[in-house]
Amino acid sequence: MAEASPGTPGNVLEKLFIRMGVLPVLMVLALIVFSLMSEQFLRIDNLVNLVRQSVYLILVSLGQMLALVTGGFDLSVGTILAVTSVVSAIVMAHFFGADPNAVWFAISIGCFAGLLAGAAVGVVNGLGVAYLGVSPFIMTLGTQSVGFGIALLITGGVPVSGLPGELSETLGFGRILGVPIPILVTAAVAVMFYILMTRTARGSYLLAVGGNPKAAALSGVNVRTTLLVAYVLCALVTAVSGLLLTARVESGEANIGGTMALESIAACVIGGVSLRGGIGRVENVVLGAIFIVLVQNGMNLSEVGSYLQMIVLGTLLIIAVIADQIRHRMIAGGVGL
C-alpha cells in the first residue's frame, strides 16, 4: 500500500496523533456525550467553573510532566499537597494568633514555610533517584507514605483552623480585573514552564535525559543534576497548588491530595507525555488536566456514581497508555515525521 502524501488527511492525522496523542479524540467525544447527558454542561457558568476547578490539577500535572519527561514519575504529589497544606496552615495560624494585626506577615511566612516543606519532599525524591539510584516508583512511593504519615501525625487527622480570612479572600476566591487569582497564578506558572521547556537549555536537558540518558551524559549533560532539578521543580509547583487549595478550603488538610497522583499522571499521558520519557508539551498537559476535570464535571452533572467515575478514569488512563505505545512505534518507525 502506498504511503500517504504529506498533504493528505491521513498524514495530517498521523502528525496530530504524534504531537497530541489521543487527547483531541477523547475531548471531542467527552463534549458530545456530556452535552447530550446534561443540559447544564455547556452553559457558560459551568464552563467557567470547570476552568476554575482545573487550576489545581493543571499545576500538579505540570510538575508531574517534568518527572515523566526524564523517564520517571512522582507518586508523592498528593503527599506534597498535604504537607504543604498542613505546614503552611500551622505556621500561619501560629503567627496570626500571636499578632492578629500582622495578617500579611502571617500569610507570607506561612506560604514560605509551606513551599519550603513541599520542596523538601522534592529534594528527598531527587537525591534518592538521581544520586542513590533508587527507582522513581519505590522512592516516590516511600516518600508518599512517610509524608502522609507525618501530616496525619502532626494534625491527628484534624483540619488545622485559625487561618486569617484574607488568605481565602485573596488566594482562594480573589479576583483581579474579574479573573480569579488562582487562574492567573496557574496561567503565569504555565507560561514559565513553557519558556523553560522550549526556550532554555535546562528544558532541552530534561528531554534529553528522558530520551537517552547515556547519550545525554556523553553530550555533556549532568544527568544527576537534571533529575534533581526535575523532582524539586515538580514539588515546588505542586506546593503552589497546595497553597491555593488550602486557601480555598480555609484550613490545613492532611487528606487533601489522595487521588492527585493518578489524576496528574492520567492528565499527562492523555496530553501526550510519553511514559518512556523524552516527549512532553506544556500546552498539551494543560489541556489534558482540563480534560480530566471536564470528565469529572460531566459525570457529576450526569449523576454518575463515584465508583463508576473511578472505573472511567482508570479506563481513560489505560487507553492513553496504549495510545502512547502506538505513538512510540510510529515515532521509532519515522511515521508522520
pLDDT, tens only, 136-166: 999 999 999 999 999 999 988 888 988 998 9
Most confident of 160-169, 269-278, 299-308: 160-169
> Coil, strand, or helix at residue 179?
strand
CA end-to-end span of the chain, whole Å? 19
For residue 58, the one-letter residue type is: I
Section 294-298 average pLDDT: 89
- One DSSP character per residue, 243-305 reads HHHHHHHTSB-TTTTTTHHHHHHHHHHHTT--TTSS---HHHHHHHHHHHHHHHHHHHHTT--
The yes-or-no verdict on residue 335 having pLDDT over 70 is no
Share of the chain above pLDDT 90, in %: 52
Section 322-330 average pLDDT: 77
70-79 tens-digit pLDDT: 999 999 999 9
Q: Which domains does the chain have, with CATH numbers?
A: 9-332 (1.10.3470)
d(CA 98, CA 114) in angstroms, rounded, equals 19
* pLDDT at site 46: 87
319 C-beta neighbours (distance < 10 Å), count: 17
* pLDDT at site 43: 87
245-262 tens-digit pLDDT: 999 999 998 888 878 998
How is residue 111 annotated by DSSP? Answer: H
* pLDDT at site 321: 81
* pLDDT at site 54: 93
Q: Which residues contact 264 (CB under 8 A, 6 or more apart)?
A: 57, 60, 61, 63, 64, 77, 289
Residue 52's nearest CA partner among 150, 162, 174, 161 is 174
- Here the cell at position 284 is 498539551
- Here the cell at position 64 is 508531574
3-state helix, strand, coil in the chain (%, to 5): 75, 0, 25
d(CA 195, CA 298) in angstroms, rounded, equals 32
Read off the pLDDT band of 13 (50, 70, 90): low
* pLDDT at site 280: 85
Of the two residues 12 and 59, the one the predictor is more confident about is: 59
The yes-or-no verdict on residue 83 having pLDDT over 70 is yes
Which range, of 201-210, 258-267, 282-291, 298-307, averages the lowest pLDDT? 298-307
* pLDDT at site 282: 93
169-181 tens-digit pLDDT: 999 888 998 889 9
* pLDDT at site 25: 81
- Here the cell at position 262 is 493518578
> Are the C-beta atoms of residues 68 and 274 closer than 8 Å to each other?
yes
Q: Which residues contact 27 (CB under 8 A, 6 or more apart)?
A: 287, 291, 294
Which range, of 13-22, 186-195, 220-229, 282-291, averages the lowest pLDDT? 13-22
Mean pLDDT of the chain: 88
Read off the pLDDT band of 337 (50, 70, 90): very low
* pLDDT at site 2: 46
d(CA 187, CA 10) in angstroms, rounded, equals 34
Global confidence as pTM:
0.89
* pLDDT at site 1: 42
Residue 85's nearest CA partner among 234, 249, 230, 237 is 249
How is residue 175 annotated by DSSP? Answer: E
Section 74-90 average pLDDT: 95
* pLDDT at site 336: 47
